[in-house]
A and B are shown apart, each in its own frame.
Chain A
Amino acid sequence: MRITSETVEHTAALAKLKLTHEELAQAAEQLEDILNCMDVLAGVTCDTQQQAQMRKNVLREDVCRPGLERSQLLVGAPATDGTYFLVPKTVE
């Protein structure tokens, strides 16, 4: 499969990554190389509907349990006001 710099740029935007022009070109080449190795999967027969039916989540009941304190969770945050995570203003 042919992977262009534009394809990588679009994918990087989805993944919230910013790549330089050089990185885009290199990533295009490497991803194409890697995806060529994945071509073997084209030979696999796949029924997505059947697949969806076969898989199901196995979930336990929701149960309230004590967790970590707010102060413990905030300690690793790059910016907080002691109560909340701080982020740049998003609404003027």
Chain B
Amino acid sequence: MNEILNMTALELSAGIKKGEVSCQEAAQAALNVIRTRQDQLNTFITVTGRQALERAAALDRRKGSGPLFGVPGAVKDNLCTQGLRTTCASLMLERYVPPYNAGVIDLLDEAGTVLLGKLNMDEFAMGSTSETSCFGPVKNPWDLSRVPGGSSGGAAAAVAAGEVWFALGSDTGGSVRQPAAWCGVTGIKPTYGTVSRYGLVAYASSFDQVGAICRDAADCAAVLDAIQNHDPRDSTGLPGEYGGLLAGLNGDIRGMRIGMPAQLFGDELDPQVRHRVLDAARVLRDRGAQVEECCLPAADYALAAYYVIACAEASSNLARYDGVHYGKRCAGDVGLEELYLRSRSEGFGSEVKRRILLGTFVLSEGHYDAYYAKALAARDMVRKSFEELFSQYDLLLAPVTPSVAPKLGQSLEHPARMYQTDSYTVCANLTGLPAMSIPCGQSEGGMPVGVQLIGPAFGEQTLLNAAHAVQRETHWHKLRPPCFGTGGEGT
């Protein structure tokens, strides 16, 4: 069984098309792993067992082409699924069943994939550890005493543990790349506007972007080919020519110019992480790229600007939860004002409340200029710095996180410290640029380390080729955690 589970999505789909394995067998194999691992890992909020098997049976009858045909996957529980509850891991939406599909759900359906369920996450995607979920924390398959990262922690852990062959997450400040790094899988956040946000529950709308978490770069290319498009229902969607990333994947990086911004290799960076990231840089150099250090001074403002703007947008976006239109309403016969106050206070968890408060504060009279206006100016500075760098380089290379995955419970008591783990990822969100995380080694304790590649706008092909080049030369993306599949036990 682990033979099927160990395949990439592309290998599995090829096997299905050759008749070596059926869609039903693949879906059943994955459901067996989910059943075995759910209590340990808590990756899923909702599993669509029966519907998934029915869908797989229908696909077996239909036969089809396409690189992802028949492949089981799952999506973060902030993507709306018609008739299937979408909770955002919050008491506020615990029973919410959307009347429509997110744009990407329809596209995955058209690609012939099988939806196995909805993945656990930080509440409303606010968090870096997947511990703020009202359904309990997700565990890291490499070490059950550690967090998987967040906020798409369920997505990364499920791919790492062999529960699915691919997953969709969302990346607002690093929420695809950071858990991918901590779980030893490959994650990509595409250029802002190239994947529809229609039906993605909003956190910070100018940053939110749907992304893919997979076993390797080739699978990421196939998933992006399936989900990138211009959706007029997303007012920030960008018209363009999409598709062809998988066909264009050749791993040829000869002559590619890669910069390593010194500011993203700061003193806070764990030496073990630094060494593994520099190992990846060496692989790229050996394959013909020119890699050198560069300077990104505006990066010093990035984290502060990100949190001010993200929380400001969150405070506005989450104002819609009023106990009237949908979501939780407090019990009891109370007046309208009290209904608002109690429904929101009972429905939101502490991290969400903290970010709403912070966002409300930085937008309030007397503080707007000192925080929000300054953050917008800093965002412009960061964007300009990146534009200048991309006139000299084809790609930038950096760590994904300053350290490997921390122990469960370490981060929540110190929110400011937790926010620091996003220092290297938020730049790509402030600028809207595509970025990915690929495994590049392990710590002495056996925890995965990721390297981040950041590309220019619409530079997904360049990013994927560089990632593919590294993965041709290294085996890190092929390592599996102790509790992979249904065999062995986690630590």
Partner of B371, one of A41, A43, A60: A41
Which residues of A from 26 to 51 have beta carbons under 8 Å from B?
27, 30-31, 33-48, 51
Instruction: Return chain B residues, CB-CB under 8 Å to A48.
Output: 369, 373
A16 at the A/B interface (Cβ < 8 Å)? yes
Contact status of A40 and B341, CB under 8 A, knowing A48-B369, A76-B326, A77-B326: no
Question: CA–CA, A75 to B83, complex, Å?
Answer: 11
By beta carbon, the residue of chain B nearest A47 is B377
B407 at the A/B interface (Cβ < 8 Å)? no
Q: In whole Å, how far is A91's beta carbon from the nearest beta carbon of chain B?
A: 10
Question: CA–CA, A17 to B325, complex, Å?
Answer: 18
By beta carbon, the residue of chain A nearest B93 is A76
Q: Let me know if A72 and B99 touch, CB within 8 A.
A: yes
Question: CA–CA, A43 to B303, complex, Å?
Answer: 14
By beta carbon, the residue of chain A nearest B298 is A44
B470 at the A/B interface (Cβ < 8 Å)? no
Contact status of A40 and B99, CB under 8 A, knowing A11-B361, A15-B315: no
**Interface CB pairs A-B, < 8 A, 25:** A8-B357, A12-B357, A15-B356, A17-B345, A17-B353, A17-B356, A23-B350, A27-B357, A35-B358, A35-B361, A37-B304, A37-B307, A37-B416, A38-B371, A41-B308, A42-B370, A44-B378, A46-B373, A51-B373, A51-B376, A77-B324, A88-B333, A88-B334, A88-B335, A88-B339
Question: CA–CA, A88 to B380, complex, Å?
Answer: 45
Question: CA–CA, A79 to B307, complex, Å?
Answer: 35
- Could you say which of B325, B336, B340, B381 has the most chain A C-beta atoms within 10 Å of its C-beta? B325
Q: Let me know if A14 and B360 touch, CB within 8 A.
A: yes
Q: How many A-B contacts are there with CB distance less than 8 Å?
A: 141
Q: Let me know if A34 and B358 touch, CB within 8 A.
A: yes
Q: Let me know if A18 and B361 touch, CB within 8 A.
A: no
Classify the secondary structure of B's interface with A: helix
Q: In whole Å, how far is B263's beta carbon from the nearest beta carbon of chain A?
A: 13
Q: Let me know if A41 and B357 touch, CB within 8 A.
A: no
By beta carbon, the residue of chain A nearest B305 is A41
Instruction: Return chain B residues, CB-CB under 8 Å to A54.
Output: 380
Q: Nearest 9 A-B pairs (CB), nearest first?
A: A78-B329, A76-B326, A72-B99, A46-B377, A41-B374, A15-B360, A18-B341, A18-B345, A38-B304
Q: Encode A73-85 as 1/0 by CB contact (under 8 A) with B.
A: 1011111000001
Question: CA–CA, A42 to B371, complex, Å?
Answer: 8
B96 at the A/B interface (Cβ < 8 Å)? yes
Instruction: Return chain A residues, CB-CB under 8 Å to B301.
Output: 40-41, 43-44
By beta carbon, the residue of chain B nearest A27 is B357
Which residues of B from 336 to 376 have beta carbons under 8 Å from A?
336, 339-342, 344-345, 348, 350, 353-354, 356-358, 360-361, 364, 369-371, 373-376
